[in-house]
Amino acid sequence: MELVKSLGADNVIDYTVEDFSSTDETYDVIFEAVNKSSFSACMKLLKNNGTYINVTEPLPSVEMLWTKLTSSKRLLLSRNSPETSEALNFLKELVEMGKLKVVVDRYYSLDEIVEAHRYVEKGHKIGNVVINMEHTHLI
């Protein structure tokens, strides 16, 4: 909770104690990053003309197609971002201005890659898992 607030979130809902869909708050944008919340619950909370983003789901479900046809809500599904340096240059500026913070959960060395993969596979990483080559003792 504190970590997410330190990154700049105004309100944080702890999903282990509160169901985000049980509040009467509505949103202009809902960003589904890990595909864990139900689409219908998200639609209930999304304002008309609002945008629902799901970065991991490339194919629309029947329910999504129906929403597209029958409402003014916009759905953006998984798609590859452009393969250019423009975004990276912009992100560099944000980091240097202190507006974008990088969260690293754990560091491993290259020879610990199997453990690093085991850890990420559990699905509970908080932020990024980095492999530091400089701390690697190669054979």
Identify which of residues 18 and 117 has a Cβ nearer to another protein in the complex. Answer: 117
- Decide: 129 and 118 in contact? Cβ < 8 Å: no
Identify which of residues 18 and 47 has a Cβ nearer to another protein in the complex. Answer: 47
Task: In angstroms, give the least distance from the CB of 40 to another protein.
Answer: 19
Identify which of residues 9 and 18 has a Cβ nearer to another protein in the complex. Answer: 9
Task: In angstroms, give the least distance from the CB of 29 to another protein.
Answer: 4
Tokens 């754990």 belong to which residue? 106
- Decide: 94 and 100 in contact? Cβ < 8 Å: yes
Task: In angstroms, give the least distance from the CB of 51 to another protein.
Answer: 4
Tokens 């492999």 belong to which residue? 131
Q: How far apart are CA 76 and CA 12, in angstroms?
A: 23
The distance between the two most distant Cα atoms of the chain, rounded to a whole number of Å, is 61
For strands 46-54 and 104-109, give the pairing.
unpaired
Task: In angstroms, give the least distance from the CB of 50 to another protein.
Answer: 9
Q: Which residues bind another protein (CB under 8 A)?
A: 25-31, 33, 47, 51, 53, 55, 59, 74, 76, 80-85, 87-92, 95-96, 100, 102-104, 107-108, 110-111, 113-121, 127-134, 138-139
